[in-house]
Structure 1
Amino acid sequence: SDLRTIIAVLHITVDLERMGDHAEGIAKIVLMLADEAPLKPYIDIPRMAQIAIEMMEGALEAYKQRDTALARRIIDRDDEVDELYDQLYRELLMFMIEERGTIQRATYLIWVAHNLERIADRVTNICERVVYLVEGKIHDLNVSKY
């Protein structure tokens, strides 16, 4: 049990560090776009961020409580983020096709969405480690297309 805890925590810290890298990338893009007019009302990106935050809060709770059922429910939420990413990606591609002047802003927004999608994936990794910690078996519980 102690060895499992050490292994799980080591993997979790790697995912947390990578999530920090993704957050840094988002922050840099936000600064670059600060003076730009939005392409459209930002709805999907804040929704993706909110889901990722809720997932992270749940993952931390699952870890503290050693709650594998909660961890599995959180993993299932990754599909919501993936669907929003797909929708936003298609929408932004259409902006770029229809108006070349939007290419740079749309590309930056796709990168923000990609980083949020990756953060949600990292949360699922943490949840998989919670399951490992409790059950002693490594399961690939996130069957994501990304």
Structure 2
Amino acid sequence: MREHFNQQLVQLNAELENLGQLCDNALAGAIKALQEGDNELARKIYKSDFVVDQKEREVENLCLNIILHQQPIASDLRLVSSALKLITDMERIGDQASDIAEIVMGLDYKEQSNFKLIEEMAKASRAMVQDAVRSFITQDMELARNVIDRDDVVDNYLVQARELMVGLINEQGHSPKTIVDLIMIAKYLERIADHATNVANWAIFQLVGEHPDKHPAPQVAMQA
């Protein structure tokens, strides 16, 4: 019985790794489409969102099957329950990569110099996703904490991107719609980093049984 359970846990890790790779591929493709103005690639990424959704459902079914038939306890239960939470964040990462691709499909903008900041932001967000998934699979708490710390870097990129894009509105040749589209791409990248942070939080939870975001509520002094 335990041997079969261990095999299922190995399968779960493999499926989580596959899901992470699908999300990474979608994000990489969306950013490449932006950089190269490749509408066909953007359309391919946009239409492939169902692949991530399907993998999420497969992993969810596996987790529920493990809980139903194996009735895990303690650390094993934390692993499976954390995986259920993780796949929701991964599905959202896939959605937001698809959202970026959808924007790129209608984007008519060739000034590559103004993509540099977004490209750096995309690189940072993508690395967070990769490391967050790896920290969960390898149970690497130090790497998970490193991912959480890097969320501020992406937040700062969003602030810089907004300032840059707002400044472009006053320049000739920049349509307000295009600027809004670029700001939305930056916002989606920031959300992707947030979801990567959530994945890292669940990586820590499965090891210590406590979510890093959870802090005791402040005590309110009672009046006499």
TM-score by length of 2: 0.59
Aligned to 1:37: 110
Tell me the distance in 2 between the aligned counterparts of 1:50 and 1:39: 16
Which residue identity lines up with residue 69 of structure 1 in the other structure?
A: E
Aligned to 2:128: 55
SS at match of 1:42: helix
Q: CA deviation at 1:139?
A: 1.5
Aligned to 1:6: 80
Q: Which of residues 83, 90, 93 is equivalent to 1:16? A: 90
Q: 1:104 to 1:137 in 2, by over 3 A?
A: same
Aligned to 1:79: 152
Tell me the distance in 1 between the aligned counterparts of 2:79 and 2:182: 38
Percent identical among aligned pairs is 34
Larger Rg: 2
Alpha-carbon displacement from aligned partner over 1:65-107 (angstroms, at most 9, x marks no partner) = 1011110011111111111110010111122245585211100
Contact 1:48 1:116 in 2 (8 A): yes
Q: How many residues align?
A: 140
Which residue identity lines up with residue 10 of structure 1 in the other structure?
A: L
What is the aligned-residue RMSD (CA, Å)? 1.7
SS at match of 1:41: helix
Tell me the distance in 2 between the aligned counterparts of 1:68 and 1:39: 38
Higher mean C-alpha deviation, range 86-95 or range 126-135? 86-95
Higher RCO (C-alpha 8 Å, min separation 6): 1
Tell me the distance in 2 between the aligned counterparts of 1:41 and 1:96: 12
Structure 2 stretches lacking a partner, 5+ long: 1-74, 215-224
TM-score by length of 1: 0.88
